[in-house]
């Protein structure tokens, strides 16, 4: 049986899997492990796939920033990243040297966006934005049925935001402090600001009002620039039920009837494939190569 491989590389953990090439949802095996230094993590990845000789293509959805321009001399590399031990690592080169098969190389959020586009909350739409809110914040964008990319992939988690009047937090982003979305609304930012992780905060905590304000502000920006049919929220932070209703309320207030958008219950939604969005997207992207 021909197999597809999938790699979802996150800042916290890696997930690797193989599936039936004819039916990517039919996962044959799957494994996850904490993200260590690059060489150690690569050894674990290759050891997993060494068990399977019938892999015809692998989809790689990798935390960024990464070089996705095939004309670049650093194509396939992880670029400057705050994740220790990864900056300048030739990830795709290491995989190609290990086994010379087709690879689809993209960002982790692009993988999740594609998973949602094919079989999740974004199916039957040609234009969606998937936003992950967790260890970091990033977005994968599908425009007219294709992943959006310029000279590199979008870095939509680092858009500049206006601070909430009540927010005195100095920001988590090592590059932008409290000026960008990731700096004020990521999981680590919430934990630093409030003294405990988001999953331990009460539903009536002011934390959720501030988080909703920032995510809604970002959604307004994405709406005005991209005009997607749906914005899908994934990652650990949006797991909380209280958040999405607050985001919709804040979005309506901040957009202030400027543009016509779909019903907000259908427009601002949570991920449909749950924690499997990225690995499924990696399989779907690998399948486009065979």
For residue 12, the model assigns a pLDDT of 86
The burial class, CB within 10 Å (0-12 / 13-18 / 19+), for 192 is middle
pLDDT band at 105 (very low <50, low <70, confident <90, very high): very high
Picking from 180, 149, 139, the residue whose alpha carbon sits closest to that of residue 163 is 180
Residue 134: pLDDT over 80: yes
Domains along the chain with CATH numbers: 3-107+275-288 (3.30.420.40), 121-272 (3.30.420.40)
Considering the entire predicted model, what is its pTM?
A: 0.95
The residue-averaged pLDDT of 246-264 equals 96
| Per-residue model confidence as pLDDT tens digits over 221-243 | 999 999 999 999 999 999 999 99
For residue 229, the model assigns a pLDDT of 98
| Per-residue model confidence as pLDDT tens digits over 152-182 | 899 999 999 999 999 999 999 988 999 999 9
Residue 82: pLDDT over 80: no
Average pLDDT for the chain: 96
Percent of all residues in the chain with a pLDDT value above 90, rounded to a whole number: 94
| Per-residue model confidence as pLDDT tens digits over 180-203 | 999 999 999 999 999 999 999 999
Length reported for the chain:
290
| Per-residue model confidence as pLDDT tens digits over 50-81 | 999 999 999 999 998 999 999 999 999 999 88
Please give the structure tokens belonging to residue 178. Answer: 């409290």
91 contacts 38 by C-beta, under 8 angstroms:
yes
For residue 64, the model assigns a pLDDT of 86
For residue 81, the model assigns a pLDDT of 86
For residue 15, the model assigns a pLDDT of 98
Give CA–CA dist 284/231, Å, rounded.
20
């Amino acid at each position: 049986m021909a197999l597809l491989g999938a790699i979802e590389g996150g800042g916290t953990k890696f997930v690797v899997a193989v599936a039936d090439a004819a039916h990517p949802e039919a996962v044959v095996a799957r494994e996850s492990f904490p993200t260590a230094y690059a060489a150690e993590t690569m050894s674990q990845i290759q050891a997993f796939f060494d068990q399977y000789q019938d892999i015809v293509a692998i989809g790689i959805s990798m935390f960024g920033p990464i070089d996705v321009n095939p004309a670049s001399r650093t194509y396939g590399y992880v670029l400057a990243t705050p994740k220790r031990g990864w900056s300048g690592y030739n990830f795709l080169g290491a995989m190609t040297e290990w086994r010379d098969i087709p690879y689809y190389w993209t960002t982790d959020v692009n993988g999740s966006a594609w998973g949602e586009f094919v079989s999740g909350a974004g199916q039957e739409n040609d234009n969606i934005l998937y936003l992950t809110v967790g260890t970091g914040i990033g977005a994968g964008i599908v425009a007219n049925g294709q992943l959006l990319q310029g000279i590199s992939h979008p870095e939509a988690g680092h858009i500049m935001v206006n601070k909430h009047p009540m927010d005195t937090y100095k920001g988590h982003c090592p590059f932008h402090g409290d000026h960008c979305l990731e700096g004020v609304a990521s999981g680590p930012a919430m934990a630093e600001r409030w003294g405990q992780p988001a999953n331990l905060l009460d539903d009536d905590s002011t934390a959720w009002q501030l988080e909703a304000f920032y995510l809604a502000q970002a959604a307004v920006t994405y709406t005005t620039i991209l005009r997607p049919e749906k914005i899908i929220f994934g990652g650990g932070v949006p797991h909380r039920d209280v958040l999405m209703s607050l985001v919709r309320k804040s979005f309506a207030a901040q957009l202030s009837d400027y543009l016509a958008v779909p019903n907000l219950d259908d427009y601002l939604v949570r991920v449909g494939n749950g924690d499997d969005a990225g690995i499924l997207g990696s399989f779907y992207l690998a399948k486009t190569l065979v």
